[in-house]
Amino acid sequence: MIGKLKGKLSETSGNVGLIETSGGVFYEVFLTPSLLSTFHLPPLSSTIHYLPSIEVYTYLQVRDDALVLFGFQTKRELDFFKLLLTVPGVGPKTAFSVISFLPLDLLVSSVQANDVDSFTRIPGLGRKTAMKIILELSTKLKSEFDMTKMVLSEEDKTVIDALVSLGYKSFEAKKLLSKLPKNLNIEEKIKEALKTKFL
């Protein structure tokens, strides 16, 4: 298993970097945008032969048709990546997209806050998968999972939309809704929410 690579970043193409080790072996590694942004390679036409040093934690995906390396700037990123892989239906490509799109601290806080919307902003990640990620990881990150914060009926969505149109923030509307009895109809929920706001 390749757990870490240290060498020179000789080339990049998109989010793939070519790392040359001291032994003269070149490894093709998927690198996060935040990691790539810290390096400035000289243009290929440049006469400057200086190449930046790089050291990354890696995860090796073994497929029938290829061996794929994913590189991470910190051990925490790698650990969170591995956590994502424990979620049913989440493979290395999806997990890497999650790590690449949002900062690690925001990912952790989003799980702890049951914030599905943050995850659904990640390209290619649907709401169902986002919910599964939060459900699975909330236990592992010792946070409380609250399904009511994530799954809303069409009636509740109508109530929230109505409250937002009246000037409330989305999170305020959801918080008010969570305090209301479940057996009220749409109109009653809106009225009670308005009363609750001003009590």
Q: How confident is the chain (199 residues) per 10-residue block, as mean pLDDT?
A: 88 88 91 84 53 90 90 92 91 94 87 85 88 84 52 78 81 74 85 69
Q: Please tell me the predicted confidence (pLDDT) of residue 40.
A: 65
pLDDT computed for residue 10 by the predictor: 86
Rounded to whole angstroms, the Cα distance separating 45 from 177 reads 61
pLDDT of the residue at 195? 78
Q: Return the CATH superfamily for domain 1-73.
A: Nucleic acid-binding proteins (2.40.50.140)
Between CA 142 and CA 195 the distance in angstroms is 35
Q: How far apart are CA 136 and CA 89, in angstroms?
A: 11
75-147 CATH, one of 1.10.760.10, 1.10.150.20, 3.40.50.2300, 2.60.40.2470: 1.10.150.20
Q: Each residue of 183-195: b (16+ CB within 10 Å) or e?
A: eeeeeebbebbee
Instruction: Specify whether the backbone of 14 is left (phi greater than 0), alpha (psi in -120 to 50) or beta.
Output: left
Q: Quick one: fold of 152-198?
A: Helicase, Ruva Protein; domain 3 (1.10.8)
Would you list the domain boundaries of the chain? 1-73, 75-147, 152-198
Pairing of strands 16-20, 67-72: unpaired
pLDDT at 147: 44
Give, to the nearest 10 degrees, the angle between helix 170-178 and helix 186-198: 100
**Confidence at residue 27, expressed as pLDDT on a 0 to 100 scale:** 92
At which residue do the structure tokens 């070149």 appear?
26
* Confidence (pLDDT) at 26: 93
